[in-house]
Chains A and B, each alone.
Chain A
């Protein structure tokens, strides 16, 4: 019996930012193939930055769009556009960090030939050579494209594809450090195995929800949750397994084990990209799934999310206190911040959505710039990340130490920084939704996080510098530009947050 196949209505306009970023990544692959080696780096930088700027312009032009396109698979609404715009700007900053060459004597932070064995004779020669590797630009753009698709997916299968498109390039990029290559490869392997494990859970959750609702469209899943005759066990198991995959990507306890290792081992510009952009994309997906798909069965998942949020805040804050490596400390601080952002997700209200988006914007810029400062403090073997080496840094370079201290204050949530406004936004939204207990835990753990941030500030300004300590390198315009951008956003969102808060509030609408 032949049946008519209805072809879906395709409108390419609303997904222009995605098309631009993926198109730019493909152009980057062509540049890799056809442009001569010595001009390749400049060409890749120009292509990547122009592409991301164009994507940002497209997002601005699309402002106010509120529709489902591609057979309801992609939702273009306020949240999608807000997060896509943030990701485009943060992507430019991350590309700037990756492009930095003047810090390391022999070039950038990325190894030029990843296949050469660490410690071999070729590797020693490679460490002295000044050739650069440019495949990382298309990889970063593919990953950013996946990140921009992830919060826009209104279909769980598409969300899985976006998850893999954002993850696979990141697994590779984690293993590309020029210095300390064994650590970097180890980070890549741990990230890959655990990431593949968690995406299998995500996928099994998708399959069970397909059995439950007969469709993986979030709108139809939400419609099915209203029917009484459906199989409740499939729904609950599906929600739980889906949550495992999403909470792994945001780095929530008990799925945080990869975060410190991967953040420490990856090349620092890649860590900055991961810390800022992956978190934004993953929270976007989490918000869409729980607000659009499971909004009407909140009693089934809120207790679980409460437990995860409390555990994440407490474990992240407490373990960060004991860290001795600055990148690891920032990683555990990222775990604690995941807990704070989850408080906004659990609020399950437009205010919670707006607060979460504002938090993601503020946190993304601050953490990216903080990792950028970490790349500046170096000794002969590369970056000096042990905290003991940072003692007395304020005497050697008041500017760099002062900037880093400011970012730490912003992460701690001191007033007049973006971190304070962000925490205020999510906590008030949570109190208004009746999650006061969660906010109490959040405020107490914020105080714990303030302790270890302040400890680093004290170490930098009130200790004697070690005699053979690291030096502070002077960056070129690339890193300086990224740090200045992060600093500007952190200050402006702390002093004059209202325009951006209003924007987040206007954007806090989800199409369903």
Chain B
């Protein structure tokens, strides 16, 4: 079975996530797109782990999951506080700081 299909799938997921960050307007969805990018990295790591025949990549995937979970805690707290003060989670509405 050809492992490079998984790498292509991961690259596609990463691109979809990256595009999502750029085009989505809701902070929660932007954040979900970032999570999609991190998960595509996990898929890449596990696939390379299989290709290289070492376990390091799988261990790294666990680290990435833990860090992603910590990031969710901090990120949702920040998005929540913005939503409560503005009644909106749109990234277009946070425009006080510019130029």
Chain A positions near chain B (C-beta within 8 angstroms):
114-115, 117-119, 157, 160-161, 164, 168, 171-172, 175, 181-183, 185-190, 192-193, 196-197, 200, 203-204, 206-208, 210-211, 214-216, 260-261, 264-265, 322
Contact = CB atoms under 8 A, between A and B. Distances in A.
A192 B85 contact: no
9 contacts: A157-B60, A160-B67, A175-B78, A186-B82, A188-B81, A206-B41, A206-B60, A207-B44, A211-B48
Contacts of B67: 160-161, 164
B44 A208 contact: yes
A157 B49 CA distance: 14
Interface string B64-85: 1001001100110111011011
B74 A157 contact: no
B22 to A, nearest CB: 9
B54 A214 contact: yes
A183 B91 CA distance: 14
Contacts of A206: 41, 60
Contacts of A175: 78, 81
Interface string B21-57: 1000001001100100110110011011001101011
Nearest to B80: A115
A33 to B, nearest CB: 19
A172 B77 contact: yes
Interface residues of B, number: 44
- The secondary structure that dominates the A interface is helix
List of 3 A-B pairs having minimum Cβ-Cβ separation, nearest first: A200-B37, A211-B48, A261-B97
Nearest to A208: B44
B1 interface: no
Given A157-B63, A196-B34, A203 B94 contact: no
A193 B85 contact: no
Contacts of B60: 157, 206-207, 210, 216
- The secondary structure that dominates the B interface is helix
Given A164-B70, A211-B7, A216-B56, 13 more contacts: A161-B63, A182-B86, A185-B82, A188-B78, A188-B81, A189-B91, A193-B31, A196-B31, A196-B71, A200-B37, A200-B41, A204-B41, A214-B52
B61 to A, nearest CB: 9
Given A183-B96, A204-B40, A208-B44, A171 B81 contact: no
Contacts of B40: 204
Given A175-B81, A185-B82, A207-B48, A192 B41 contact: no
A204 B14 contact: yes
A204 B27 contact: no
Contacts of A187: 97
Nearest to A164: B67
B64 A118 contact: no
A211 B52 contact: yes
Nearest to B84: A117
Contacts of A189: 27, 78-79, 82, 91, 94
Nearest to A168: B74
A211 B44 CA distance: 8
Given A200-B17, A203-B38, A186 B31 contact: no
Nearest to B37: A200
Contact of B34 (A115, A186, A197, A261): A197
A203 B14 CA distance: 11
A257 to B, nearest CB: 11
Contact of B56 (A181, A196, A197, A215): A215
Nearest to A172: B74
B79 to A, nearest CB: 7
B34 A193 contact: yes
Nearest to A175: B78
